[in-house]
Amino acid sequence: METTLRGVGVSHGVAIGEVRHMGTAVLEPPAKQIPAEEAEREQGRARQAVEAVAADLIARGNLAGGEAQHVLEAQAMMAQDPELIADVERRIAVGSTAERGVYDAFAAYRALLANAGEYLAGRVADLDDVRNRIVARLLGVPMPGVPDSDQPYVLIARDLAPADTALLDPTLVLGFVTEEGGPTSHSAILARALGVPAVVALPGAGEIAEGTVVAVDGSTGEIFVEPSQEKRAEMESASAARKAALTAVTGPGATSDGHKVPLLANVGGPGDVPAALEAGAEGVGLFRTEFLFLDDSKQAPSEEKQIAAYRAVLEAFPEGRVVVRVLDAGADKPLDFLTPADEPNPALGVRGLRSLLDHPDVLRTQLTALARAAEGLPVYLEVMAPMVADRADAKAFADACREAGLQAKFGAMVEIPSAALRARSILQEVEFLSLGTNDLAQYTFAADRQVGAVSRLQDPWQPALLDLVALSADAARAEGKSCGVCGEAASDPLLACVLTGLGVTSLSMGAASIPYVRATLAKHTLAQCERAASAARAADSAEEARLAAQAVLSGE
């Protein structure tokens, strides 16, 4: 009998197939004492397993490329964390086996993060995956991961670690569903990059029996268990129509009456450029430079290394616009040379621009590298600061840009509610705004962006979030300046129309989402987008806002 479940759709498309569940490693090894003379051997086993897992994660990243590579390299660094390894060795020294020492050390770190309620708790799934891989290697059992299957299937898991998501084979994994996660989790972002339909934050998904046929709608978040033939035909027809619409619309982003809305790509480095070009991106709306710094958390990359990476991206978009975000370190992206080690809540501490202003040499080197990378290129370079709170922050950043001799537009990210509320003041110092809707939602609703239990508050359709977008866009319009969106909200085609109606001047997203957004914008006039935006803001919940906008745009 057909039943319907609803989670959070995070990657467009429809998948229909049999369920396969993610395999897991033995999570808890037996607790037994070892003689003191065996401690050194066990410590050696632990170190070898850690290095082998780190090497495997890096190899997976090299195969995956793009943003996935940066995520997996960061996970490998997690495996090799010196404090964790030291804790493992201390536990072995007092009698634990290698596998038990690893398990207990990781459990202690996990509990510290979760109980403190820190932003880093959003990386618990990544931490668990690293632990399971190390323990599995020590126990000699299969690694956790995607099940073996010769036939295409829909994957269901409690959560998907980046190591698993990055190497999903789209010819076999039709789509995936997770019980945990949120719309801005690593798995959701990588799913969009892969173009695999995905639904997250669906409690009870793990109870769907192996082999059950399900239909997954990655746009609406709906899961149909044992769908009828009529439902299958309906979804397949809608999917075919959607694909046909994608190929029918090409060129720059615009509404049906010619209002231009540049469609830009979010990239983490040169590896993400080919997909952006293939999707027809008109430039880069968010170049996340922190991935270059995460290659080595002990020291900043040299100016020459930075120049090479920046120039590779800038050269790919001659005459195009490339918006570079300077280093956004702290919170879930700690760097030993930059990030305080003893902050009780890193998400509310010294992160982003605050870190850079405390370390002006790091900021100066990055700005100088950007200036040199752009020399002689016809690209339109724009540079923006993360986590700007007020006009003083914006002025400090603009002054630093000028001192570095940077010939570019300077901008500020709107990720903190204060920046949206005082956007016009901030625009006295900078030339554009860019809304990071992921963090803006997190700080507006006090809802960690990685925690599935609060995913409804991370929904970018929340009317309060739309109000902040409107405030920012109105301020930019009044000052004759631009205001883009580079958060994941831009990847939702329907919401892209609403953002356009709110006055947003450009949209930046993962490359796989660009064709969907382009095709949807092309079906509606600017006036329709404006009416949809008004209807969404008048609603009292995210779901009501979505339905209200949909009704306007469908002509109901």
The reported pLDDT for the residue numbered 117 is 45
Residue 46 has pLDDT above 50, yes or no: yes
Residue 37, exposed/middle/buried by CB under 10 A (0-12, 13-18, 19+)? exposed
Is 12 known to be catalytic?
no
Q: What pLDDT score was predicted for residue 60?
A: 78
Of all residues in the chain, what percent are helix, strand and coil, respectively (each to 5)? 50, 15, 35
Lay out the sheet containing 3-6: strands in order across.
3-6, 222-225, 213-217, 14-21, 153-157, 173-178, 198-200, 8-11
Helices (H), 377-513: 391-403, 417-421, 423-426, 437-445, 463-479, 493-502
Specify the pairing of strand 380-385 against strand 263-267: unpaired
pLDDT tens per residue, range 228-251: 999 999 998 888 887 787 788 889
What does the pLDDT read at residue 121? 47
Q: For residues 199 and 112, which has the higher predicted lDDT (pLDDT)?
A: 199
Residues 6+ apart with CB under 8 A from 29: 97, 99, 100, 103, 135, 138, 139
Judged against a pLDDT cut of 90, whether residue 181 lies above it is answered with: no
Quick: pLDDT tens for 270-305.
Answer: 988 998 999 999 999 999 998 888 766 578 899 999
- In angstroms, the CA 530 to CA 435 distance is 19
Return the DSSP state at 302.
P
Confidence of residue 365 (pLDDT cuts 50, 70, 90): very high
Cβ burial of 329 (10 Å; 0-12, 13-18, 19+) is buried
What pLDDT does 331 receive?
Answer: 63
What pLDDT shows up at residue 327? Answer: 95
What are residue 441's DSSP bridge partners?
none
Token look-up 């495997």 returns: 56
Give the pLDDT score at 184: 65
- Kindly report, residue by residue over 488-520, the tens digit of the pLDDT: 799 889 999 999 999 999 999 988 889 989 999
The band of 169, judged by pLDDT with boundaries at 50, 70 and 90, is: confident
Predicted confidence at residue 428, as pLDDT, reads: 98
Which residues lie below 8 Å from residue 483, measured CB to CB, with a gap of 6+? Answer: 423, 432, 433, 434, 435, 472, 473, 475, 476, 477, 503, 504, 505
> Residue 355: helix, strand or coil by DSSP?
helix
Would you state the pLDDT for residue 344? 74
What is the rounded CA–CA span in Å between residue 432 and residue 323?
10
List pLDDT tens digits, range 508-556: 998 888 998 999 999 999 999 999 999 999 999 998 999 999 999 998 6
Structure tokens, 12:
């467009």
Dist. CA 320–CA 80, nearest whole Å: 40
Beta bridge partners of 414: 435
Give the model's pLDDT for residue 312.
Answer: 95
User: Of 186, 483, 497, 524, which residue is the catalytic one?
Assistant: 186
* pLDDT at residue 131 tops 80: yes
Lowest mean pLDDT among 63-72, 108-117, 319-328, 370-379: 108-117
Q: Please report the pLDDT score of residue 455 as a whole number.
A: 72
267: β partners = 287
Per-residue pLDDT at 17 exceeds 90: yes
Catalytic residue, chosen from 12, 70, 483, 486, is 486
Q: What is the CA radius of gyration of the chain?
A: 24
Output the pTM of the full model.
0.72
In whole angstroms, give the CA distance from residue 243 to residue 263. 19
The confidence score (pLDDT) of residue 263 equals 97
Residue 93 exposed, middle or buried by CB count within 10 Å (0-12, 13-18, 19+): middle
**Tokens encoding 416:** 């903190």
Q: pLDDT tens across 452-484, in order?
A: 677 788 889 999 999 999 999 999 999 999 999
Phi-psi region of 283 (alpha: psi -120 to 50; beta: other; left: phi over 0): left
The Cα–Cα gap between 289 and 70 comes to 11
Burial of 49 per CB tally in 10 Å (0-12, 13-18, 19+)? buried
- Told to judge if 486 belongs to the known catalytic residues of this protein, a careful annotator would answer yes
Instruction: Give the β-pairing of 409-414 and 380-385.
Output: parallel
- Pick the closest to residue 138 from 237, 250, 21, 26 (CA basis): 26
